């Protein structure tokens, strides 16, 4: 895909002080456009995990959004490109919020770092900012889009947990064929994410694109780092009881044959 990304930074309102700022920094009306990329070739392929990194203000998020818009225009399927920031979280508990069978919901929540039972039974409003971000990832993946878009990827997470989530995203991409567009200032997730395409944006305007060949990458099969908290859902041991909303009833068992 060819991308052109630019921003106008002329003042929205004319004022004496705005003119003084423009004079001070040598900004004229003919120079009121900041070009991030012009006819920039980004070799994205279906199912790729694409990581955009760079310092704040380097243009990584703008470039990612431009790529997302290009994919939206090139794909006619409804919800084929989902941005997790656009998702409505609702007020149901997490395990009831995903449109999947309970086993799949538990596995997906666990992969996104929400594997503890007390988290699965909370509503989105009861989560921390970092937990809510992880739930957005899980909710987006549960809708099985062709592409999932996430800005500020793992920015609000503990860095060890960020690596766990990045590793699991790589595995989910391989298993489901979902493509990811992820933007972050944190380079530390790159090793565990194993992105197919790493787009590095610099403050001087230079953009470097590295495509990794993962077909024979030995790191791709390594174990994910251990999370700082329990990151996987344990299968409960049978108790012979079912519990719904605090009402507990004994489940009858078959009578032994004489």
| pLDDT class of 180 with cuts at 50, 70, 90 | very high
Q: In which band, very low, low, confident or very high, does the pLDDT at 240 lie, cut at 50, 70 and 90?
A: very low
Fold of 45-235: Rossmann fold (3.40.50)
Domain boundaries, the chain: 1-41, 45-235
The pLDDT tens digits for 26-78 are: 776 655 666 777 778 889 999 999 999 999 888 899 899 999 988 988 876 66
Q: What is the 3-state secondary structure (H, E, C) of the chain?
A: CEEEEEEECCCCCCCHHHHHHHHHHCCCHHHCEEEEEEEEECCCCCCCEEEEECCCCCCHHHHHHHHHHHHHHHCCCCCCEEEHHHCCCCCCCHHHHCCCCHHHHHHHHHHCCCCCHHHHCCCHHHCCHHHHHHHHHHHHHHCCCCEEEECCCCCCCCHHHHHHHHHHHHHHHHHHCCEEEEEECCHHHHHHHCCCEEEEECCCCCEEEEECCCCCCHHHHCCCCCCCCCCCCCCCCCCCEEEECCEEEECCCCCCCC
C-alpha–C-alpha distance, residues 52 and 149, integer Å: 11
Residues 6+ apart with CB under 8 A from 19: none
* For range 227-233, the mean pLDDT: 48
């Amino acid at each position: 895909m060819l991308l052109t990304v630019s921003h106008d930074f002329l003042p929205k309102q004319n004022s004496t002080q705005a003119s003084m700022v423009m004079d001070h920094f040598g900004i004229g009306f003919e120079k009121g456009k900041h070009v991030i990329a012009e006819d920039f070739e980004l070799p994205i392929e279906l199912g790729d995990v694409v990581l955009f990194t760079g310092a704040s203000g380097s243009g990584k998020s703008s470039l990612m959004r431009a790529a997302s818009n290009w994919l939206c225009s090139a794909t006619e399927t409804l919800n084929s490109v989902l941005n997790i920031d656009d998702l409505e979280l609702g007020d149901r508990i997490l395990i009831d919020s995903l449109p999947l069978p309970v086993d799949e919901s538990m596995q997906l929540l666990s992969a996104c770092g929400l594997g503890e039972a007390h988290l699965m039974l909370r509503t989105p409003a009861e989560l921390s900012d970092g937990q809510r971000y992880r739930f957005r990832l899980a909710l987006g993946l549960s809708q099985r889009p062709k592409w999932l878009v996430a800005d500020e990827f793992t920015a609000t997470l503990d860095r060890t947990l960020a690596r766990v989530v990045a590793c699991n995203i790589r595995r989910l991409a391989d298993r489901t064929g979902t493509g990811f567009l992820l933007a972050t200032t944190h380079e530390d997730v790159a090793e565990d994410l194993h992105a197919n395409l790493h787009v590095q944006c610099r403050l001087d305007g230079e953009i470097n694109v590295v495509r990794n060949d993962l077909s024979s990458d030995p790191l791709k099969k390594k174990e994910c780092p251990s999370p700082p908290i329990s990151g996987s859902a344990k299968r409960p041991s049978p108790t012979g009881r079912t519990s719904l909303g605090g009402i507990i009833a004994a489940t009858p068992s078959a009578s032994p044959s004489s």
